[in-house]
Amino acid sequence: MRAATPHRVVVVGGGFGGLPATRLLARSKEFEITLIDRRNHHLFQPLLYQVATGILSPGQISPVLRHMLRKRSNVRVVLSEVHGFDLGRRIVRTTAAPGREIEFPYDSLIVAAGAGQSYFGHDEFALIAPGMKTIDDAMELRRRVYGALEIAESLSDDALTRFWMTFVVVGAGATGVELAGQIRELAARSLNRDFRRIDPATVRVILVDGGEEPLTNFGDRLAGRARRELEKMGVELQMGRRVVGVDPDGVDTENAQGDKSRVRAATTIWAAGVQASPLAGMLAESSGASTDRAGRIEVLADLSLPGHPEVFAVGDMASVQELPGVCEVAMQGGLHAANTIKRRLKGRDSLPFTYRDLGSAAAIGRFKSIVSFRGVRLSGLAGWAVWFFVHIGFLNGFGNRASTMVRWFRAMVGHARPERVFSVGHTGGDLSLPDDVKKRIMPHPFPAQAEGPATFAG
């Protein structure tokens, strides 16, 4: 028998953890779901590097949440930033309209707010070396990569030209490797006829990491393969070196023996380290749970919080059985939390979360990927074929899948980089605009409102 009033579920975050949970619960009219996200879109982070390097447009990897859920009348999508919880009163606190606080009451709560970039205690590096977590990051990197080449083209001094044509990528995990490979590939393959003074094929890309090999989590054999492929593409590897300083002129590194060295480069990209959303710490404080070094909240076996069986934390912000922060863990976690809410409503006990490992994949370059799946290791074209189907399968929306395949064909079989536009107005560009013009075109925030807190008009 259906309950007289629907069970109110608030889901925080429309990413890989929150979206599948919302979709699953939305199938039943027993639930009234409010999905709160501070962005209006779901983001397919694994392909951000292709937005940064000009293969894909932002819209192809970031479908709008409200549109994706338009057919689910029991789901309400709210664009808002969550900044606190009252677990006792079962309230989520957000800021929606500028300057106004709105409270959302719930019967069950799923928090899947993900993770941000970690600069390992050196947040000042962020001003110089942007990370790769959001569409804005990808657009900023696009501006820096293509902008640096424009500046190089306009210079007559050879040393300065080389400086602008040198890129340092910090972190040789999947994101760093994919970015480094793509910058070399776009320079050597796609831009070779676009410039008159510089030769883009001479672009230097230096990949720095404290580990011994790139992509160490794939095991020795695949990591060795990744190293050889990257070197063949012209990426210079500086392994076993920790970054100890970043400034506008370059990067300082240090090896295990304490020997220092410096790379001069105009562009540094940060692809190392993650820090859980601050919401993990807030939930931990309110529930007495602990957090790990990356700020992730330690959840119980069923992904709920101690003393609060109605509250779940999933995805990159939760520490579960030492699992890595990847899409599959977040998706399976979100689905488990949603299923647990359904079970409880039927009067059944919750079950512990069990993870089904579906393997991992990373693209090194054109038709070159490495894949690890339950002891099966693939590389080269075979690895790329698996990478292709996994990424196309996980993208949301038929239109995005079809247009992405067309773009991949144009970029990989052909030489095209059709998405090279960057907006100086959006990013406060520094190429040629006088300061007084820049000030005028920068977007203005919405005017703040004077009224006090409000409750959700649900």
Ligand X SMILES: Cc1cc2nc3c(=O)[nH]c(=O)nc-3n(C[C@H](O)[C@H](O)[C@H](O)COP(=O)(O)OP(=O)(O)OC[C@H]3O[C@@H](n4cnc5c(N)ncnc54)[C@H](O)[C@@H]3O)c2cc1C
113 vs 277: CA distance, rounded Å:
6
- 171 is a contact residue toward ligand X (CB under 6 A): no
Report the DSSP pairing between strands 108-111 and 7-12: parallel
Site for ligand X in 74-103 (CB under 6 A): 81-82
Q: Which is nearer to ligand X, 165 or 289 (CB)?
A: 289
In this structure, what token pair is assigned to residue 399? 């239109």
Site for ligand X in 270-299 (CB under 6 A): 277, 279
**Residue of the chain from 8, 39, 420, 426 that contacts ligand X (CB under 6 A):** 39
Q: Is 43 left (phi over 0), alpha (psi -120 to 50) or beta?
A: beta
- 241 is a contact residue toward ligand X (CB under 6 A): no
Region of 35-43, 140-148, 160-168, 378-386 interacting with ligand X (CB under 6 A): 35-43
Length of the chain: 458
**Residue of the chain from 35, 132, 139, 237 that contacts ligand X (CB under 6 A):** 132
**Residue of the chain from 11, 18, 149, 369 that contacts ligand X (CB under 6 A):** 18
Q: What is the CA radius of gyration of the chain?
A: 23
In this structure, what token pair is assigned to residue 445? 């925030």
Across-strand partners of 169? 207, 269
Q: Could you confirm whether 178 is annotated as catalytic? A: yes
- 315 is a contact residue toward ligand X (CB under 6 A): yes
Q: Which is nearer to ligand X, 18 or 250 (CB)?
A: 18
Catalytic residue among 101, 103, 150, 178: 178
Per the CB < 8 A criterion, the answer to whether 317 and 280 are in contact is yes
Region of 10-18, 99-107, 207-215, 247-255 interacting with ligand X (CB under 6 A): 10-18
**Residue of the chain from 10, 11, 17, 365 that contacts ligand X (CB under 6 A):** 17
442 vs 188: CA distance, rounded Å:
34
Q: Which is nearer to ligand X, 44 or 146 (CB)?
A: 44
Region of 33-41, 259-267, 305-313, 432-440 interacting with ligand X (CB under 6 A): 33-41
Q: Which is nearer to ligand X, 243 or 317 (CB)?
A: 317
The residue with tokens 């942007």 is: 130
Which distant-in-sequence residues (6+ apart) come within 8 Å of 14 by Cβ?
Answer: 22, 35, 37, 39, 41, 42, 65, 77
Among residues 8, 130, 22, the alpha carbon closest in space to that of 66 is found at 22
Among residues 181, 367, 152, the alpha carbon closest in space to that of 271 is found at 181
Enumerate binding residues for ligand X (CB under 6 A).
12-18, 36-39, 45-46, 48, 81-82, 112-114, 132-133, 174-175, 277, 279, 315-316, 325-328, 330
